[in-house]
Amino acid sequence: MRILLIEDEHLLGDAVRERVARDGHAVDWVKRIDDGNAAVAAVNYDVILLDLYLPDGRGLDLLQLLRSGGSRVPVLILTARDQIRDRIEGLNEGADDYLVKPFDLDELSARIKAVARRAAGDPSRTVAVGDLEIDRVAPRLLREGKLINLTAREWALLLKLTERVGAIASKRQLEDALYAFGDEVESNALEAHISRLRKKIGRNAIRTIRGLGYQMGGE
């Protein structure tokens, strides 16, 4: 997944970015609302992690702008304010979940996966595609009952391809899920990842749809 972190606390932001990246997600970290607005205008994020109080304004203002513009991207609020009224205001403005600082990074990881599954219209933990059984929480992949080990990038690619089984994912969508701003990306990097993933899950598991992208689970 491609995740936007909007947080001005350096130590917390660094810890969150490191953990989320370790889960295999691409993370863009900004510290101001203006930069957050610029990021969401450029990238279709899978999840936004949003602090409520930032140097140049309120995170809720950005959330209101997103929802008034029709964006359905999942937003998970991170804040030191633990008053009930603050939580209610955030949820009423369209937030999908809420974590009060300090929070456990394992819980953050679980909540990111949960809001992303709900946003994709499939809140279930596991998904089956052909002879593959994918546990999106563990994460764990079984092929004909045998455990298959994937790298973090391969996991990110597999999860994006199976976000909506049978749907076609464009090259741009897959690259957005794998790489953050500033990453050095070779022109054939995505194709190389897909080739390695095919070797592990079966060469016919991922179909190339010429001119459109890639598909898993289609007819």
pLDDT tens digits for 23-82? 889 999 999 999 999 999 999 899 999 998 899 988 999 999 999 999 989 999 998 866
Residue where a domain stops, chosen among 119, 145, 169: 119
36 and 143 within one domain = no
Domain that holds residue 45: 2-119
Half-sphere exposure in the Cβ direction for 200 (13 Å, CA): 18
Q: What is the CATH number of the domain that holds 44?
A: 3.40.50.2300
Q: Which amino acid is at 115?
A: V
9 and 41 within one domain = yes
144 and 79 within one domain = no
pTM of the full structure? 0.80
Angle value at C-alpha 193, between 20 and 145, nearest 5 degrees: 80
Residue where a domain stops, chosen among 119, 140, 166: 119
203 and 160 within one domain = yes
